[in-house]
Amino acid sequence: YVREGFTRLKIKMGHSLPEQKKLIPRIREKAGNSVELTADANQAYTASEALELAEKLQEANFVLLEQPV
């Protein structure tokens, strides 16, 4: 999608937290820094997991976490 000119991507989350945390930096790397990334967790995590996920997303400059719990 980035090659097609999209400047904002919504990424569906829901893998186990350890697996998702590994994927986040890879997603940012593939998308590049000029793309605005948002995440939709579809209520896949507990409150404490959501906070942990939010920290990792913030490190990768995601701008939004939708429905984490």
Condensed to tens digits (0 to 9), the pLDDT of residues 18-52 reads: 999 999 999 999 999 999 999 999 999 999 999 99
pLDDT of residue 51: 97
Q: Tokens standing for 48? A: 């404490």
Choose among 17, 27, 28, 1: nearest CA to 54. 17
pLDDT score recorded for residue 27: 96
Do 67 and 45 contact (CB within 8 A), yes or no? no
pLDDT score recorded for residue 67? 96
Question: pTM here?
Answer: 0.90
